[in-house]
């Protein structure tokens, strides 16, 4: 049973690293800053989930698992909020936003 836990942890960490690598490729492929921020935010949020879940499996279920769970909760709340604020700042300050993307105002 110990081997299954370690293998599951390694697989989760590997999936998290794959998500990070994919997000990094997205940062270099996309040209517009909002697209880059979208790739970075999703990659960061999903990547940290898989990596920390993998670490939770690798260290076993103890007090450190609770700490890692709290870190996941904090990052899942903070990362989308900061990405949204950066995107809003880009939208407000960029003068030629309509030439870059279609904006639908409600």
Arithmetic mean of pLDDT over the chain = 87
| CA angle at 48 for the pair 47 and 49, rounded to the nearest 5° | 90
Q: How many CB atoms lie within 10 A of CB 22?
A: 15
The per-residue pLDDT for range 36-77, each reduced to its tens digit, is 888 888 888 999 999 999 999 999 888 989 999 999 999 889
Read off φ and ψ for residue 101, nearest 5 degrees: -150, 155
> Which pTM does this prediction carry?
0.80
């Amino acid at each position: 049973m110990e081997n299954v836990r370690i293998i599951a942890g390694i697989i989760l960490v590997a999936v998290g690293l794959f998500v990070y690598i994919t997000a990094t490729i997205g940062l270099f492929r996309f040209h517009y800053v909002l697209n880059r921020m979208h790739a970075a935010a999703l990659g960061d949020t999903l990547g940290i989930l898989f990596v920390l879940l993998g670490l939770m499996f690798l260290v076993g279920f103890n007090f450190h698992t609770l700490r890692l769970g709290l870190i996941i909760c904090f990052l899942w709340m903070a990362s989308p909020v900061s990405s949204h604020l950066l995107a809003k700042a880009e939208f407000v300050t960029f003068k030629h936003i309509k030439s870059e993307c279609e904006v639908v105002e409600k």
